[in-house]
A and B are shown apart, each in its own frame.
Chain A
Amino acid sequence: LAKTTQPISMDSYEGQEVNITCSHNNIATNDYITWYQQFPSQGPRFIIQGYKTKVTNEVASLFIPADRKSSTLSLPRVSLSDTAVYYCLVGEGDNTNAGKSTFGDGTTLTVKP
């Protein structure tokens, strides 16, 4: 499994754009990159997933450089409700282990007024 490295914590202010970077130097050819968000007393919630280049949905963007050894989750104009822990996962792509991935300790994002 590819090991991921993220900053332990980040602070931001309401209305700012937040970029959280994840390193995954040993990512395999078939691996996908997935980000989850977790609020206290809840299970993680899927945010976005990508394989290469850029992926955008209604809540975030995911930037993946050509070498795929890192990825950046971008949250536009954060609000107080975005305060949470964000996890980067790298998942194996073969059918036997479809979905097999490992959570690190995540990045605690604190959004201040």
Chain B
Amino acid sequence: EAGVAQSPRYKIIEKRQSVAFWCNPISGHATLYWYQQILGQGPKLLIQFQNNGVVDDSQLPKDRFSAERLKGVDSTLKIQPAKLEDSAVYLCASSPGLAESYEQYFGPGTRLTVT
């Protein structure tokens, strides 16, 4: 079974530039998550999709971050414009979306450096 795919793996941009990350979840998984993980901290949920609808985006800085999940499969996360404090690893995860199981499958992440 193929895992969660993310690209790019690394990205370096200057502040005020834009960047986009892509995620392809495990086939058939209804729930997709985007997390931000700053060095030394646990992952922080940015947005959760159930199929192509947003379940939770309460911690997404909506003035600069946006995310979409077209057709309930792939997803993109965009930052525009980037700030220095956005330097982090951006993790995508997916899960079957069953109420009795919260096992999330994580991708390798995208390491973003904002200079």
The residues of A with any CB-CB pair to B shorter than 8 Å are 32, 34, 36, 41-46, 49, 85, 87, 89, 91, 93-106
Contact A87:B106 (CB < 8 A) given known A43-B93, A97-B55, A99-B97: no
Using A43-B108, A43-B109 as known contacts, say yes or no to A99 and B102 having CB atoms under 8 A apart. yes
Q: State the main secondary structure of chain A at its contact with B.
A: loop
Q: What CA separation (Å) do A36 and B95 show in the bound complex?
A: 14
17 A–B contact pairs at CB < 8 A?
A32-B101, A32-B102, A41-B108, A43-B93, A43-B106, A43-B107, A43-B108, A44-B43, A49-B102, A89-B102, A93-B100, A97-B55, A97-B56, A99-B97, A100-B48, A100-B55, A106-B42
Contacts of B13 in A (CB 8 A): none
Query: Which B residues touch A103, using CB under 8 A?
Result: 35, 42-45
Q: Do B97 and A98 have beta carbons less than 8 Å apart?
A: yes
Closest chain-B Cβ to A90's Cβ sits at a distance in Å of 9
Task: Give 6 nearest A-B pairs by CB, closest first.
Answer: A43-B106, A103-B42, A91-B102, A46-B103, A98-B99, A103-B43
**Residues on B with beta carbons closer than 8 Å to the beta carbon of A104:** 42
With a cutoff of 8 Å between Cβ atoms, the chain B residues found around residue A95 in the complex are 99
Besides A43-B106, A49-B102, A99-B48, 10 other A-B contacts (C-beta < 8 A): A43-B107, A44-B43, A89-B102, A93-B99, A97-B55, A98-B31, A99-B97, A100-B56, A103-B43, A103-B44
B76 at the interface (CB under 8 A from A): no
Bound form: Cα–Cα A106–B56 in Å: 22
CA of A76 to CA of B33, assembled, Å? 31
Chain B residues within an 8 Å CB radius of A98: 31, 50, 97-99, 102
With a cutoff of 8 Å between Cβ atoms, the chain A residues found around residue B101 in the complex are 32, 49
User: Does B104 lie at the interface of the complex (its beta carbon under 8 Å from any beta carbon of A)?
Assistant: yes
